[in-house]
Amino acid sequence: MSTESTTLVQVSAGFAAAVETAGASTVLVNARRRIPASGVVWSADGTIVTAHHVIERDEVEVVLADGSKHQATVAGRDPGSDIAVLKIGPAGLTPALRAPAGSAKVGNLVLAVGRPSLEGPMASLGVVGAIGGPWRTFRGGEVEGYIRTDTTFFPGFSGGPLVDAEGRVVGINSARLGRGAGLTVPVAAVERIAADLLAGGQVRRAYLGISSQVARLPVALAALAGGRETGLLIISVEPDSPADAAGVLIGDILIELGGQPVDDTDSLQAQLGPSHIGQATPASVLRGGERKDLTVTIGERS
């Protein structure tokens, strides 16, 4: 067997192992008239994460990887991010392995995994094509971040995981978030949303009212940002939003919020927790080659 063939066999076996790992914590969620959806065992105490839009009735049944069936209660749901949290009775479940926040990179190979039937897990292979956020969906929801891939979301894949080559969850898939294409909510955002839903049944979502993308800073601007290499380029500002009221402009590069560095969407979201709502917060941007300090009162998305 040639070296090329051996390598291909090893790669293939690695992907199969990743699906097996993820499949052990991927469940079937039966809560609608049509084909069932998927979900992920989030913790061993019976917490299941799935997609909000697949919960269409009060009676929810969850089927685990071992085939056992369990009635579930809805602990909370967040239409804005299309995330819902369910609870089932059994403890000692096998929770999903979670990838570190921000570990998914453009160009990575990933697998969309689902369990829409009793026949076992299904999977599709693809590449991460884009990572971004925060983003306001065409349905009016607020998504803290997103991962776009060319994986195929087969019917029933919503609520299932997007996993890396080691079978670790990098996000939760939704066929509803993107116009004409599915998106994935990154694992760091899902962790925050799930914690809020378990604590209070809903998500209080702080916001600035901007859309942004990561921008690499030239050496001169990096010096103004404390030596950091990236910031968030502001590509839109919502009228009458907190950012608009604070004087943030399209083309600004956000480098600090609340005294903490902002170099990607995860670091921004870390400063936009519910406890920050209504707080007058210092922010720093780069504008016209200079550093400008602002004060923004963080709002709450209704």
- Catalytically active residues are 53, 82, 158
**How far is 144 from 264, CA to CA, in rounded Å?**
12
Largest interatomic CA distance in the chain: 66
> Residue ranges of the alpha helices (H) in the chain?
3-23, 187-200, 219-224, 242-246, 265-270
> Of 183, 167, 225, 228, nearest to 83 (Cα)?
183
Nearest 5°: CA angle at 248, between 242 and 250?
Answer: 120
**How far is 166 from 14, CA to CA, in rounded Å?**
8
Element (H, E) at 102: none
> Residue ranges of the alpha helices (H) in 152-300?
187-200, 219-224, 242-246, 265-270
Whether the CB-CB separation of 295 and 282 falls below 8 Å is answered with yes
> Of 210, 203, 247, nearest to 232 (Cα)?
210
Q: Tell me the one-letter amino acid at 82.
A: D
Which three-class secondary structure state does DSSP give residue 220? Answer: helix
